[in-house]
Amino acid sequence: MRVQKWILFFSVLLSVLLPFLPLVLWSTSERWFYPGLLPQSFGLRAWTYVFGTAGDQIVTGLSSSFSLALVTTIVSLILGIPAGRALGLYDFPGKKMVSLLLILPIIVPPLSVSMGLHFWFIQLRLAETFVGVVLIHLTVCLPYTIFVIWGVFTDYNPDFEEQAQSLGASPAKIIVQVMLPMILPGITVAALFSFLLSWSQYLSTLIIGGGKLLTLPILLFSLMDSGDRPVAAAVSLVFILPAFLALMGSAYNLGRSGLQGVR
Amino acid sequence: MTGSSLHSTAIDAGTGRKTSLLQLSGLLGPALATVLVLFGGGLALGLLQALGYLPATGLASIGLQHFTRVLQDPDFSKSLFLTLYIAATSTLIAAVISIFLALSLMRWAADSRTVHFILQIPLTVPHLVIAISVTLLLAPAGMLSRLLSSVAIIQTPAEFPLLVNDGWGIGILTVYIWKEIPFITFMLLSVLKNMGTELLEAGATLNASRLQRFSHIILPVIAPSLGAACLIVFAFTFGAFEVPYLLGRTYPLALPVWAYKNYSDIDLLARPEGIAIGLIIAAIVIIAIFLSQIVLHFGRKRGLTI
Amino acid sequence: MQLKKRPLFLYVLLLVLSFTLPVPGSAAAKKEVLSWDEAVKMSRGQTVDWYMWGGSPAVNRYVNGYLAPELKKKYGIHLRQVPVKDIAEVVSKLIVEKQAGKDSDGSVDLMWINGENFRTCKQHDLLYGPFADKLPNQQFVDWSKPTVKNDFGTPVDGMESPWGSAQMVMIYDTARTPQPPKSISALIAWIKANPGRFTYPAPPDFTGSVLVRHFFYHAAGTVDTWQGEYSAAELTKAADATYTLLNDLKSSLWRNGDTYPESPVKMNTLFADGQIDFSFSYHQGEASRNILDGLFPETVRTYVFDEGTITNTHFVAIPYNAKDTAAAMVVANFLLSPAAQLEKAVPEVWGDFPEISPHKLPVPWQEKFTGLPKGKATLSDAELQAHQLPEPPSTILIELEKGWVDHVLKNR
């Protein structure tokens, strides 16, 4: 058993970490011609570029990606927690249809929706604005949030709330002191979920944001074409870091249940 | 739908709880309105444009001409086939590996937080980044080729098989499989954990073979989650743009890439065609989900497990 | 089956939306073009969003590391680079904005453009101007040069302002190919003799497209015909000959022509990795730049064909609905200043060739330009100027790009 465990452990470790190897090597290479297995010389040209010349853009990209993801997540939670509660707790006529409608955007690609909305977003002066891009990210993030929270509420026992109510707690107090603590792990998952989805959106941001909302994916895509592999690798690493930190932060909170359902 | 199959027990059994319509609409109203306006509106307005409607021209020129042009294009069947192939293959391979992985994890490393943590890493890595990394690994002069060359298996990059921008979409599949395995695995683990080991132990005492245990005990338990996860993965890979754009061949193009290419063309007529392709993608995904639901439904009726 | 009810929702939604949406105004009256003095006065404190291809760290370095701080210091203008994959996306965006009636407050203030994208913009009235003749630094530009007066056969008419000049150069490694083929016919023979060692970016990529035009000139046997009047039959004949030629070469290309690099930089990567023996570029100084960055080996050099290589000019233009037109004009003018053009030409910075004519400059500046060190792999001005071919009109360019996709890529 022990041997099998270690085999499992190392094969998972290797396949997960392998893709990071070329990124790290390329980003620190100065000269690396074929067929050298390792760079002929190492250097920090790419990192100087990322933090020097392109520093402003990277910071802009980081902050706009971050604030977009944050706002989208918050709005998704505000709208998604009540909806998930309704779906998870109650029976009502037409429930199947309502849930279908709320969940359908998960499977329909954002590209179809963004292209349809673009023209009208321009007319409503929403195109190329922060709000416009938040709205298009919402079509992706909100359904996932509802999906996760719905699952949380199927195991939720509202009797505690009634007890609290009978003890004289106000509705606000019930939400903050009874409901939220009980569903907190679920909320963390949903929030991470939504954050990562927004964080990695490319095409919908490009269509609605028109390139003006310079998120990290947009920046990386424009650099990708450069064939400057050291720079592309360095920016890729910058792109992974915040989400990775978020994972580290939440790992403790979530324990072993992990990020199930996040893609 | 994916939701309904995952949470199907809740719906089918019913929670029994009822509440007032007023409270329900208070809870559901805002989310429902948002989804209706943004998502429903997006598709509907897209449809209008794909039918040829523009405020400048009005409804006068409405018709199916853009759809027919797309569907009659000889490239359409090629692109459709390529996209279906990518989505189906990556879903299938990822699902099979995930089942093995989930079962092994349950058996050997159920309590290992480290393994769980490592497995979560791919979830946080955007497809774009992993596409770049796969290029650096698998391209004709990538690290794998350099490795083979350093041990003298190949002499020049030309001898290395084309694994990126290739006809079989190997690079694209690699990215998707790497990204989606953890997703499916965690979906499976969450049900397997609830199942506990009692059932399996019962099976073992009844002298059930490994295969029997799998098909009669495990599969029925994980089927709904597996189905839902696969549907989500299939739908995502069918409609995603970045990976086939970066790692695909010059021709034929995956449907989403073709859609965006037309959408952003400076030729005015190409744009409604791009939107039409986008809607066709949406329609295909929705139809695929429906078909799978019907199959599952009949399967369940006849007492089959999957 | 519940889905059946959904269309009803959509109809209702559509109805509501169609009432609430603003009706786009009819084509807005053409804006008055600012005078230079007005532009300078109004520009202070404005932000210029400059949409440009963002794929070159060298260009990005010049824009963000030199232009932005200089403009801030000299004019109080905030220059913001908006990197895009392809400027055609921006043009397409402007077309949609025009249809949607967004005639002011547009987000694009300046764009890096030429060729077919410029023609499309002009055709659809997407540009602000004429503004180029209002810029004082125009005096340094030689407007009699055909590539400045006409952009791929489209008269410039002051609707865009020149920024730099480009000439296609072949890139090779002297260590690998000591005797490169110095003409298109020699190149064709070389490709056939060395299968799998040559490729080109798939048109409509800009650089792949220029190679196809060289083959077109070769197949047609004439360059001058396309500068004047020509018949449709002549064009079809020459274009078909081009496709036949390229199809014929396909099996000798890298990976048997099954796939093509999608951009010149991807081609550079293949070249640097030793997969192919030639690259080519629209930037005369790019090879030197890449040697400095360690992307190319030291032994890389460039050359031009004996019959010449295609030359063109790249420009900047201001969209009709730009928000900060005044500052955009000041930026366009600063781009043509001797100081900015000199900095742009420094091999360590970008190495792009100046668009202003040295003989129109004051003597001290002339000396600075002539004294500028060239990169290791960059050809001399004399060598380049002696081997220049004009671009065909952009209608031919579009015809060839579309034809390439249909006849060469898809083999119909």
Give the Å distances, CA to CA, from B219 to A125, B92, B108, B123, B195. 51, 16, 19, 25, 11
Per-residue pLDDT at B3 exceeds 70: no
Phi, psi of C116 (to 5 degrees): -65, -30
Look up the CATH superfamily of B2-9+74-301: MetI-like (1.10.3720.10)
**Residue A229 belongs to some domain of the structure:** no
**Residue A84 belongs to some domain of the structure:** yes
Report the pLDDT value the prediction gives residue B263, as an integer from 0 to 100.
Answer: 92
Mutate to test the interface with B, among C94, C99, C277 (most CBs of B within 10 A): C99
Per-residue pLDDT at C8 exceeds 60: no
Chain C residues with a Cβ under 8 Å from any Cβ in chain B? 3, 6, 9-10, 13-14, 17, 21, 23-24, 86, 88-89, 91-93, 95-96, 99-101, 116-117, 120, 196, 202, 254-255, 258-260, 262, 269-270, 273-275, 405, 409-410
Higher pLDDT, B174 or B113: B174
Tell me the nearest-neighbour CA distance from A222 into chain C, angstroms.
5
> 35-54 in A: which are within 8 Å (CB) of B?
35-37
Short-list C139, C136, C158, C138, CA closest to C149: C158
Contact flag C99-B56 (C-beta cutoff 8 Å):
yes
Query: A143 and A105 in contact (C-beta within 8 Å)?
Result: yes
In sequence order, what are the residues at sequence separation of 6 or more whose Cβ sits closer than 8 angstroms to the Cβ of residue B199? B217, B221
Residues spanned by the domain of A94: 61-215
- Where is average pLDDT lowest: B115-119, B196-200, C8-12, C382-386? C8-12
Cα nearest neighbour of B158 on chain C:
C275
Mean local confidence (pLDDT), C379-402: 92
Question: Which residues in chain C touch residue B55, judged by CB atoms under 8 angstroms apart?
Answer: 21, 23-24, 99-101
Mean local confidence (pLDDT), B158-162: 87
Q: For residue C94, which amino acid is it? A: L
Q: What digits encode the pLDDT tens for the residues C188-205?
A: 999 999 999 999 999 988
Contact flag B141-C117 (C-beta cutoff 8 Å):
no
Report the pLDDT value the prediction gives residue B21, as an integer from 0 to 100.
Answer: 83
Q: What digits encode the pLDDT tens for the residues A61-70?
A: 999 999 999 9
Per-residue pLDDT at B89 exceeds 90: yes
Report the pLDDT value the prediction gives residue B218, as an integer from 0 to 100.
Answer: 81
Report the pLDDT value the prediction gives residue B60, as an integer from 0 to 100.
Answer: 63
Which band of pLDDT confidence, cut at 50, 70 and 90, is reported for residue C234?
very high
Report the pLDDT value the prediction gives residue B15, as an integer from 0 to 100.
Answer: 60
Report the pLDDT value the prediction gives residue B299, as an integer from 0 to 100.
Answer: 67
Report the pLDDT value the prediction gives residue A111, as an integer from 0 to 100.
Answer: 93
Place of tokens 């100081």: C339
Give the Å distances, CA to CA, from B45 to A139, B48, C120, C297. 15, 5, 26, 53
> 153-192 in C: which are within 8 Å (CB) of A?
none
| Fold of the domain built from segment(s) C169-311+389-409 | D-Maltodextrin-Binding Protein; domain 2 (3.40.190)
Q: For residue B197, which amino acid is it? A: T
Cα nearest neighbour of B287 on chain C:
C3
Residue C82 forms beta bridges with which residues?
A: C51
Which band of pLDDT confidence, cut at 50, 70 and 90, is reported for residue A92?
confident
**Residue A28 belongs to some domain of the structure:** no
Report the pLDDT value the prediction gives residue A112, as an integer from 0 to 100.
Answer: 93
Question: Which residues in chain A touch residue B289, judged by CB atoms under 8 angstroms apart?
Answer: 107
**Residue A187 belongs to some domain of the structure:** yes
Q: Which of B37, B162, B264 is closest, CB to CB, to C89?
A: B264
- Where is average pLDDT lowest: B236-250, C119-133, C289-303, C345-359? C345-359
Q: Please give the full DSSP string across C104-163, using - where no structure is assigned.
A: SSBS--EEEE-HHHHHHHHHTT-B--S-GGG-GGGGGB-TTSHHHHEETTEE-TTSEEEE
Chain A residues with a Cβ under 8 Å from any Cβ in chain C? 30-31, 33-35, 41, 43, 45, 49, 52-54, 56-57, 96-97, 100-101, 118-120, 122-125, 127-128, 210-212, 214, 218-219, 221-229, 231
Rounded CA gap, C240 and C220, in Å?
10
Which band of pLDDT confidence, cut at 50, 70 and 90, is reported for residue B14?
low
- Looking at every residue in chain B, the average pLDDT score rounds to 84
Report the pLDDT value the prediction gives residue C20, as an integer from 0 to 100.
Answer: 45
Higher pLDDT, C407 or B187: C407
User: Same topology for domains C36-165+313-376 and C169-311+389-409, yes or no?
Assistant: yes
Q: What digits encode the pLDDT tens for the residues B124-142?
A: 898 999 999 999 999 888 8
Per-residue pLDDT at C6 exceeds 60: no
Contact flag C263-A43 (C-beta cutoff 8 Å):
no
Mean local confidence (pLDDT), C232-246: 96
Rounded CA gap, B239 and B87, in Å?
9
Rounded CA gap, A4 and B108, in Å?
7
SS (H, E, C) chain A: CHHHHHHHHHHHHHHHHCCHHHHHHHHCEEECCCCCCCCCEECCHHHHHHHCCCHHHHHHHHHHHHHHHHHHHHHHHHHHHHHHHHHHHCCCCCHHHHHHHHHHHHHCCHHHHHHHHHHHHHHCCCCCCHHHHHHHHHHHHHHHHHHHHHHHHHCCCCHHHHHHHHCCCCHHHHHHHHHHHHHHHHHHHHHHHHHHHHHHCCHHHHHHHCCCCCCHHHHHHHHHCCCCHHHHHHHHHHHHHHHHHHHHHHHHHHHHHCCCCCC
In sequence order, what are the residues at sequence separation of 6 or more whose Cβ sits closer than 8 angstroms to the Cβ of residue B130? A19, B122, B175, B178, B179
Which band of pLDDT confidence, cut at 50, 70 and 90, is reported for residue A24?
very high
Q: Highest-confidence range of B134-143, B215-224, C49-58, C328-337, by mean pLDDT? A: C328-337
Report the pLDDT value the prediction gives residue B16, as an integer from 0 to 100.
Answer: 66
Q: Highest-confidence range of A87-101, A246-260, B100-114, C202-216, by mean pLDDT? A: C202-216
- Looking at every residue in chain C, the average pLDDT score rounds to 89
Per-residue pLDDT at C405 exceeds 70: yes
Q: Please give the full DSSP string across B130-142, using - where no structure is assigned.
A: HHHHHHHHHSTTS
CATH number at residue A69: 1.10.3720.10
Per-residue pLDDT at B23 exceeds 90: no
Rounded CA gap, A229 and C297, in Å?
15
Per-residue pLDDT at C25 exceeds 80: no
Q: What digits encode the pLDDT tens for the residues B191-219?
A: 887 776 666 677 667 777 777 777 777 88
**Residue A25 belongs to some domain of the structure:** no
Q: What percent of chain C has pLDDT above 90?
A: 67
Q: What digits encode the pLDDT tens for the residues C154-186?
A: 999 999 999 998 999 999 999 999 999 999 999
Mean local confidence (pLDDT), B26-41: 93
SS (H, E, C) C193-219: HCCCCCCCCCCCCHHHHHHHHHHHHHH
Report the pLDDT value the prediction gives residue C1, as an integer from 0 to 100.
Answer: 31
Place of tokens 């500028």: C372
Tell me the nearest-neighbour CA distance from A136 into chain B, angstroms.
7
What ranges do the domains of chain C cover? 36-165+313-376, 169-311+389-409
Cα nearest neighbour of A244 on chain B:
B124
Q: CATH for C36-165+313-376? A: 3.40.190.10
